[in-house]
């Protein structure tokens, strides 16, 4: 079936000498993987390797056979050219980290238009703003809502956060209960939007500890979770 759909590139892996295997989250069909033959050597083809950088937003004309195999892209064009995401040093490092997280987190081949819209809007905000030091933490917390495991904040005034249960508790319960400064920092990200991020002032150590808490939460709630390889680079940038 040939269809036109918006898509966000999650990864592009070299296959043989001139091919790419590209993973995209599409608006119409969810997660899809495509084989792009000869794209690394072709200068006259319709598809260019530069179109498939991480988190690039595309409009695709693709042939989806939906048989569990690699699909084919007939045409692709960038639907939202970024101003800074692939040229700003810090943002490009952040893009690599977020694309790894999304590749590990989005696993279903089914449409999720609310999630797609969230990703579009979030990336647009990141592209157009400079106060981004805490963006990835809020992005991941909000993303968990679309993935089905957003923390229960109804008792946010309590001192402990249970990573396994995903809620705040009065007392420690089990090995996954956390208490301390990182929990207080974690709480600051609830009930805000991206425009409020500059109000959260964190040291490098506080930011790293809060991110570690969020990633451990993801590890407990995503089957087959893999620690992102770009985390070390991200911590150095921030």
* pLDDT tens digits, 55-90: 999 999 999 988 878 999 999 999 999 999 999 999
Do 197 and 140 meet the contact criterion of CB atoms below 8 Å apart?
Answer: no
H-type alpha helices, the chain: 89-105, 113-128, 135-147, 181-187, 204-221, 231-237
Nearest to 11 by CA among 40, 31, 39: 31
CATH of 89-237, one of 3.40.50.720, 3.40.190.150, 1.20.1440.120, 3.40.470.10: 1.20.1440.120
pLDDT surpassing 90 at residue 117: yes
pLDDT surpassing 80 at residue 237: no
CATH of 2-78, one of 2.40.160.20, 2.60.40.10, 2.40.50.140, 2.160.10.10: 2.40.50.140
Nearest to 51 by CA among 78, 83, 79, 16: 78
User: How far apart are alpha carbons 40 and 36 in whole angstroms?
Assistant: 9
The predicted pLDDT at position 193 comes to 97
- Domain positions in the chain are 2-78, 89-237
The predicted pLDDT at position 232 comes to 82
Once rounded to an integer, what is the mean pLDDT over residues 211-231? 94
User: How far apart are alpha carbons 21 and 15 in whole angstroms?
Assistant: 6
The predicted pLDDT at position 233 comes to 78
Query: What confidence tens digit (pLDDT) does each residue in 183-213 have?
Result: 999 999 999 999 999 999 999 999 999 999 9
pTM of the model: 0.95
Mean pLDDT score across all residues of the chain: 94
């Amino acid at each position: 079936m040939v269809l036109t759909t918006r898509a966000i590139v999650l990864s592009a892996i070299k296959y043989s000498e001139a091919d790419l295997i590209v993973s995209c989250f599409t608006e119409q069909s969810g997660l899809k993987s495509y084989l792009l033959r000869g794209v690394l050597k072709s200068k006259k083809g319709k598809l260019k390797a530069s179109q498939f950088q991480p988190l690039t937003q595309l409009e695709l004309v693709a042939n989806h056979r939906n048989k569990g195999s690699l699909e084919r892209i007939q045409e692709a064009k960038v639907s939202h050219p970024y101003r800074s995401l692939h040229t700003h040093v810090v943002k490009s490092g952040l893009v690599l980290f977020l694309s790894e997280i999304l590749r590990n987190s989005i696993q279903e081949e089914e449409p999720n238009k609310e999630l797609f819209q969230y990703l579009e809007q979030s990336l647009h905000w990141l592209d157009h703003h400079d106060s981004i030091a805490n963006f990835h933490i809020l992005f991941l917390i909000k993303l968990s809502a679309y993935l089905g495991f957003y923390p229960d904040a109804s008792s946010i005034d309590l001192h402990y956060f249970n990573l396994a249960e995903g809620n705040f508790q009065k007392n420690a319960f089990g090995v996954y209960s956390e208490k301390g400064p990182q929990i207080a920092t974690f709480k600051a990200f609830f009930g805000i939007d991206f425009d409020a991020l500059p109000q959260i002032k964190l040291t490098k150590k506080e930011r790293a500890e809060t991110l570690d808490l969020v990633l451990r939460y993801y590890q407990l709630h995503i089957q087959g979770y893999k620690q992102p390889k770009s985390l070390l680079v991200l911590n150095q940038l921030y």
